[in-house]
């Protein structure tokens, strides 16, 4: 019963925490199932929270919201993969190439 009370009391915070945990699980699964993955941090905007893009060696990518740039760096450190600030380095060519291949395949 205490769990339900805590859920109710915490309100949006508990949902946000659950969503954050799901995002981190998804990101970890992406890292462990692909090679050459790197983390790219996208800054918070007026429309979206801070997000990270994980990009594999072949350009395949996934994006999830994350609590902060520091949280993204902690995740990258824990997974032992490189981390970059997208505002400094931009999107890698392999990601654009991957998107183009998918676009052509679906046409």
pLDDT tens-digit readout, 72-83? 999 999 999 999
pTM here is 0.82
Q: How many angstroms from the chain centroid is the CA of residue 44? A: 13
Handedness of CA 48, 70, 93, 64 (dihedral sign): negative
Residue 67 has pLDDT above 70, yes or no: yes
Residues 64 and 26: their CA atoms lie apart, in Å, by: 8
For residues 16 and 11, give the distance between their C-alpha atoms in angstroms, rounded to a whole number.
Answer: 9
Residue with structure tokens 């291949």?
101
């Amino acid at each position: 019963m205490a769990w339900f009370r805590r859920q109710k009391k915490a309100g949006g915070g508990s949902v946000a925490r659950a969503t954050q945990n799901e995002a981190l699980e998804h990101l970890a699964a992406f890292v462990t199932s692909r090679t050459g993955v790197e983390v790219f941090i996208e800054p918070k905007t007026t429309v979206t929270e801070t997000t990270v893009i994980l990009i594999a060696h072949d350009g395949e990518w996934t994006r999830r919201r994350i609590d902060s740039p520091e949280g993204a760096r902690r995740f990258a450190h824990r997974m032992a993969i490189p981390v970059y600030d997208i505002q400094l380095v931009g999107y890698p060519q392999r990601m654009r190439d991957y998107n183009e291949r998918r676009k052509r395949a679906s046409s």
